Amino acid sequence: MTSSPPDVAGRVQAVRERIAEAALRAGRDPAAITLVAASKTQPPERIAEVVRAGVRDVGENRVQEARSKIPAVSAALHGLPGPTWHLIGHVQTNKAAAAADLFQVVQSVDSVRVAEALSRRATRPLAVLLEVYVGDDPDRPGLRPAELSEAAGRIIELPHLNVRGLMSVAPLGLAAAEVRAAFAAIRNLRDSLAVEYPRVHWTDVSMGMTEDFPVAIAEGSTMVRVGRAIFGERTLVEPA
């Protein structure tokens, strides 16, 4: 006899237990790590289930998909407080106004140009993370380490943006030890920026997804973006 798959609350609890185990192994406080449910293509009702299960942060990849989903999730929660919404996918400059309006956190600021577009269009303080890429693929988004210091110096001077740290995705195709080294490199970049720009609170390092978040936690991640381990396989929906 086969057991039925766990419900959303069970999946959330299992992820939280893995987060706690990884944190404790690293000598860290599990409460210092924020779980962001990566909800790409998931329907609003499913996201509302995750929020009701106690997840307070939700990450969307596409502005156009979030435009209809965010109010739909709010309606599905029937008056319960909604989550903090994070934009975790690439920001197109022509969608900067909508991104600044819809999201409380933009994790994927991958250029000065994107930061400037968000700054011009934000009507309230907007928390942002600088996306950094430490691999060799020229097509992957993210600031490169060699340009990070100069870009950060320009971005932190922009109005309306509250720079809180770094975000990264591990390069594809790496062995486990190389993934760990990539995460360590991101943490070290954050530490260097904290020395160079001490008036900024470089609080957050967002790295780690379903496949590798325990390793990311071991290397100092403060936010993990978990999709499949919470929602199961993606449910395709058409963006509005």
Predicted confidence (pLDDT) per residue in 19-78, tens digit: 999 999 999 999 999 999 999 999 999 999 999 999 999 999 999 999 999 999 999 999
- Give residue 232's pLDDT band: very low, low, confident or very high (50, 70, 90): confident
Phi, psi for 85 (deg, rounded to 5): -95, 130
Instruction: Give me the pLDDT at residue 239, please.
Output: 44
**CA dihedral angle for residue 226, residue 12, residue 63, residue 167, rounded to 10 degrees:** -30
* Every domain of the chain and the residues it spans: 47-205
Q: Closest by alpha carbon to 152, among 199, 91, 220?
A: 199
Instruction: Give me the pLDDT at residue 235, please.
Output: 52
Residue 5 reports pLDDT greater than 60: no
* Average pLDDT rounded to a whole number, residues 93-99: 97
Residue 221 reports pLDDT greater than 60: yes
Q: Tell me which residue has tokens 């979030």.
A: 66
How far apart are alpha carbons 6 and 11 in whole angstroms? 6
Average pLDDT over all residues of the chain: 94
Instruction: Give me the pLDDT at residue 160, please.
Output: 97
Residue 4 reports pLDDT greater than 50: no
- Give residue 6's pLDDT band: very low, low, confident or very high (50, 70, 90): low
Instruction: Give me the pLDDT at residue 240, please.
Output: 41
Residue 2 reports pLDDT greater than 60: no
Tell me which DSSP letter residue 83 carries.
Answer: P
Per-residue pLDDT of 109-129, as tens digits, reads: 999 999 999 999 999 999 999
Proportion of the chain above pLDDT 70, given as a percent = 95
Proportion of the chain above pLDDT 90, given as a percent = 93
* Average pLDDT rounded to a whole number, residues 154-175: 96
Residue 3 reports pLDDT greater than 90: no
- Give residue 233's pLDDT band: very low, low, confident or very high (50, 70, 90): confident
Q: Into which CATH architecture does domain 47-205 fall? A: Alpha-Beta Barrel (3.20)
Phi, psi for 224 (deg, rounded to 5): -120, 135
Q: Is 76 helix (H, G, I), strand (E, B) or coil?
A: helix
To the nearest 10 degrees (0 to 180), the angle between helices 145-155 and 112-121 is 20
Higher-confidence position of 201 and 1: 201
Instruction: Give me the pLDDT at residue 215, please.
Output: 97
